[in-house]
Amino acid sequence: MKELAMLVVILIGFNTMAQNFVAQNIEMNNVLYRGYENKYNFGQLGCEEKYVLEGVNCELIKVNDDANDNLYIVKTNSNDKTASVHFVANGKVLGSVDFIVKNLPRPDLY
């Protein structure tokens, strides 16, 4: 019984300390297009710690939208194949979201 109680306490501890960082854009599935203003919602679930966003191989521009406080434009002109956005608090990286960087598809004429 003691082991079961300890297991429950440990599992609750992991659940309350877990932080889920998300980037949401239903249309693009964590893909950044070079030279394009990619719009993403960045958020944090399960923790109320204040954080800032830092881009690796990309630039983040906060959109002033009263309805959506977490909306950002993510731009990259890098030749690298990946980019990341880090959630940082007190100089420590709390989590990150990785992106695949692609060129925009060529338009087809019909």
pLDDT of 74? 92
Instruction: Determine the pLDDT at residue 24.
Output: 59
Give me Rg for the CA atoms of the chain.
18
The per-residue pLDDT for 110 is 76
Per-residue pLDDT of the chain (110 residues), as tens digits, is: 555 444 444 444 433 344 555 565 555 678 999 999 998 888 766 666 788 889 999 999 998 877 777 888 999 998 999 999 998 888 888 888 899 999 998 888 87
CATH topology of domain 23-102: Immunoglobulin-like (2.60.40)
Is there a contact between 44 and 52 (Cβ–Cβ < 8 Å)?
A: no
CA distances, 29 to each of 61, 83, 92 (Å): 19, 14, 26
Task: List, in order, residues 6 or more apart from 100 with CB less than 8 Å away.
Answer: 30, 31, 32, 81, 82
Residue 88: closest CA among 63, 55, 45, 59? 55
Other CB atoms within a 10 A radius of the CB of residue 20 amount to 10
